[in-house]
Structure 1
Amino acid sequence: MAPVGADLPPPDRGSAPEAQYILTLSCANRPGIVAAVSTYLFESRCNILDANQYDDRETGRFFMRVVVNPVGEGVALDALKEGFAALAGRFAMEWSLRSRFERRRVLLLASKSDHCLADLVYRWRIGEIPMDIAGIVSNHSRETYAHLDLDGIPFHHLPVTRQTKMEQEARIWQIVQESRAELVVLARYMQVLSDGLAAKLAGRCINIHHSFLPGFKGAKPYHQAFERGVKLIGATAHYVTSDLDEGPIIEQDVERVSHHATPEDLVRKGRDIERRVLARAIAWHLEDRVLMNGKRTVVFAD
């Protein structure tokens, strides 16, 4: 077995791209924010490639995402951060500034249903989602996924019972720290995280719920949907909180079904929706397109 957090070679992308940086920020809205940010970037010799902003009039919060590239030599990321910190302090901003091409480390948690896990590993191998898989944690043995190509990815079999839940979660947290995982993904991991672990992973743990939240929470949501005779089924990707299936929603999708559909049909269709919804949510998170807005999110998607 590979060591925890083993560095895996990224997919070949050819020649190195030019430097680009992503700036995200949120703060109380007031006049002059955009002018101050754009002036700072101009004076720091940065060219704006893409910019999105949103003014939430209900909360009075302002959100912004800007992609820039340095013009000329000597525009260092650390220097940009140091200079921007003063401006951010003036507006009491929550902000982040990082390289657009920094590959972040992602830990995947899965249970017996492996369709989301298989999809994410495939997208990673072809370079569609720019991440490094820090490892896979499952409460099922490696043999459960013998049909998947997991070669080179650290695998951790952590069985769990009601009596061993706290010990198992302590080990998960240890793996998160040792592997330097910045994001944890519950890829159909069918165990409810404790309040303690959910709190430790606040804002960096994404779950795929196999239903269109806020309806049909908990176990067997497709069977619940069948009993109600729904005409639309869907899936929801959201951040994990201590409130079961109530974290801030990142992405959702639906498909139409008819009265002919059986529970098995809903499960089959649902698997396809779950895969694409989870993949989009992870990609948007890694691209700094998702900003927290209380119990909601602001998503600057393409």
Structure 2
Amino acid sequence: MPHHQFVLTLSCPDLPGIVSAVSTFLFDNGQNIIDAQQFDDSETGLFFMRVVFNAAQTRASLQGLREAFLPVAERFRMRWHLRDRSNRRRVMLLVSQSHHCLVDILYRWRTGELEMQPTAIISNHPRETYKDIEFGDIPFHYLPVNKETRRQQETAISGVIAHTKTDLVVLARYMQILSNEMSGRLEGRCINIHHSFLPGFKGARPYHQAHERGVKLIGATAHYVTSDLDEGPIIDQDVERISHRDTPADLARKGRDIERRVLSRAIRYHLEDRVILNGKKTVIFMD
């Protein structure tokens, strides 16, 4: 980024004067608006906004801007977040045996597409499972788990999250169900990816099940993790049409590709503050 930028996201009851108040605040504090998006949800009566800005004349500190914005936020009863875009979010990746999403995330991070700082890779499978993947300096933690050790394993994961000051946890095809307690602790900062057949074709070999039923569309869903299994607020989805010529192996191959791109988009939207929660849904400000 050529200039030092900040991003402000907010939601609040829809009242007259919100945009004017935010714009006036930025002008009075010597800031220049680079990009602004807003959405008025007529169903809930809530207003959502994302603003990217930088210093037009004088540089301002993040803390100073936060303190100055408080009266505006209180006036409109805002839920808001203000971030310095130069501070990359710290991201932990959880993975099981299938590592196509992990490889894709690492590639997009190394090429600069995902502006983040990986803090750790955690798996319930040993390092040898990923012998062909270059992790570099990213710490790897092998934390096996079964029904009897789930609580201890999640305690260990929580310890790594705290120690590394992780901001976002990504379940990159991590094939373990998080406990309600763990899901609650990570609410709003944990993203999961899975095929979009749910609630149909549950359990093992979903693409084989889909093939047996002759489905014509396959897809993937990325969502925030909640205590309601696979029912958290959706961030991104995609589909691809298939035909009678596609075998179960073809469906699985195409499914892996959809999963990669859907998860990477969801991560990027989160990292760029493009996602605002709206109850059980999300507001996504596209670029």
Q: CA deviation at 1:128?
A: 1.2
The number of residue pairs the alignment matches comes to 287
2:84 to 81, 99, 104: 99
Q: CA deviation at 1:210?
A: 2.2
Q: CA deviation at 1:75?
A: 2.0
1:65 to 39, 50, 53: 50
RMSD of aligned Cα (Å): 1.3
2:208 to 223, 231, 240: 223
1:298 corresponds to: 283
* Pairs within 5 Å for 1:100-249: 100-213=85-198, 215-249=200-234
Please give the alpha-carbon distance, in whole angstroms, between the structure 2 residues aligned to 1:213 and 1:101: 38
TM-score, normalised to structure 2, is 0.97
Q: Relative to 1, partners in 2 of residues 1:61 and 1:110: Cα closer, same or farther, differing over 3 Å?
A: same
SS at match of 1:68: strand
After superposition, the C-alpha distances for 1:78-109 in whole angstroms (9 at most, x for unaligned) are 11110101110111100011112211100000
Structure 1 residue runs of 5 or longer lacking an equivalent are 1-15
SS at match of 2:125: coil
Residues 234 and 255, structure 1, Cα contact 8 Å, conserved in 2: yes
Q: CA deviation at 1:220?
A: 3.2
Q: CA deviation at 1:236?
A: 0.5
Residues 10 and 80, structure 2, Cα contact 8 Å, conserved in 1: yes
SS at match of 2:107: helix
Q: Alignment identity in percent?
A: 63
2:22 corresponds to: 37
> Is 1:276 matched with 2:283?
no
Please give the alpha-carbon distance, in whole angstroms, between the structure 1 residues aligned to 2:198 and 2:35: 32
Q: CA deviation at 1:74?
A: 3.7
Residues 25 and 93, structure 1, Cα contact 8 Å, conserved in 2: yes
Q: Relative to 1, partners in 2 of residues 1:294 and 1:186: Cα closer, same or farther, differing over 3 Å?
A: same
* Residue type at the aligned position of 2:64: A
After alignment, is 76-85 or 165-174 more displaced?
A: 76-85
Q: Relative to 1, partners in 2 of residues 1:233 and 1:63: Cα closer, same or farther, differing over 3 Å?
A: same
